[in-house]
Structure 1
Amino acid sequence: MDSKEVFLQIFRENIHREGSDALLDYLEHKSDFFTAPASARFHGSYPGGLCEHSVNVYRCLEAYLERERVRELYGLDYSPESVALVSLLHDVCKTGCYKAGTRNVKGPDGKWQTVPTFFYEDSLPYGHGEKSVYILSGFLRLTREEAMAIRWHMGFSGDEDKRLVGQAFQQYPLAFALSVADMEATYFLEKDEA
């Protein structure tokens, strides 16, 4: 199965709350979610990279939450729906933001050559995690912990006040877990793509 098929299977098996059908219709037919890159020049910077990254984050979050220490010592226990929702949709803010183009780079022979790239153009500059929460909230109701997890998934690599990141992680452990899963997917699973 390709990433889109895996994404759809995970979504359909786990996410059933009111509004999820409309959200899935939006993702499939009214957005570029399944064809968008995950970034302009780093991880997943190719068509379909966003969907692939989302599936990777799901797998990493699921594995993190299955750890004995995480379950027993930290007491983290979330429904399959919450796990699927926050991981698959944390970067929905990236839909409609990447435009295909070209740029010039020096080739191995030292000569300039034109290569394909993506340019980031955000027509709804609402932030990153908060934009994902905003978009999702137009379709379905998130729990406070789900909203916080998506909002703060960039962790300490975002531009926010670091005290707020730490406070969010303390109050909403799913935010920390999602951030770990996002970083693992980005820097370990997808590192060769960067």
Structure 2
Amino acid sequence: MTKREEFIAVYQENIQRRGADRLLEWLDSDASDFFTAPSSTRFHGAYEGGLVEHSLNVYECLKDYLNRPRTKELYGMDYTPETIAVTALLHDICKVGFYAVDYRNAKNEQGVWEKVPYYTVRDTLPYGHGEKSVYMIQSFMRLTRDEAFAIRYHMGFSGNEDKNSVGRALEMFPLALAVNVADMEATYYLEGSVK
């Protein structure tokens, strides 16, 4: 099963709210590069299909994190399969149409200069990161408050946001912390260079 097929299967199995079908149709259309886009320019998932792979990794990491007994019993983190799928699979939808391929000169193994492709940012909707994902999703379907804050603050303290706002959001919306942990685990341990 390809990553595209896996994503669609998880999405359709878990996300049933009104508008979800239109969002998936858009993600899988020529208007979107979701299934071929990288997840970054140089770091995790900096290759074709990196974004969908990262989204699936975050989904698996989030499910694992939320299955810990203490997250439910001590922290009260008990979310529906739909909320888990929405926040994990769609947290980086802001990266659709965000990257472009450009070329630069580099020496090959024989020491000869040649043009090599690399990813660069082409931000045609400069609306931030998490908030842009929320905005794009809500063009198709409604998010709960927990979902919106989890997606908005999924970068945690590694983003450019005001640190006081981040801390308050993570305190008020535990799902935001859970998605941040899942995103960091996927980024640095599953996709990064940490061994």
TM-score tier after normalising by the smaller chain length: over 0.9
User: Is 1:163 matched up with 2:172?
Assistant: no
**TM-score (norm. length: structure 1):** 0.95
Q: 2:2 maps to what in 1?
A: 2
Q: 1:45 maps to what in 2?
A: 46
Q: How does 1:120-139 map to 2 (within 5 A)?
A: 120-139=121-140
Q: How does 1:111-150 map to 2 (within 5 A)?
A: 112-150=113-151
- Count of matched residue pairs: 193
Q: How does 1:4-153 map to 2 (within 5 A)?
A: 4-29=4-29, 30-106=31-107, 112-153=113-154
- Counterpart residue identity of residue 98, structure 1: Y
Superposition deviation, residue 148 in structure 1: 0.2
Question: C-alpha separation between the residues in 1 aligned to 2:42 and 2:7?
Answer: 23
Superposition deviation, residue 95 in structure 1: 0.3
Gaps in structure 1 of 5+ consecutive residues:
none
Question: C-alpha separation between the residues in 2 aligned to 1:95 and 1:45?
Answer: 14
Matched residue SS, 1:191: coil
Higher helix share: 1
Matched residue SS, 1:32: coil
Structure 1 residue ranges, 4+ long, deviating more than 6 angstroms after superposition:
none
Query: Quick one: percent identity of the two aligned structures?
Result: 58
**TM-score (norm. length: structure 2):** 0.94
Q: 1:179 maps to what in 2?
A: 180
Matched residue SS, 1:63: helix
Gaps in structure 2 of 5+ consecutive residues:
none
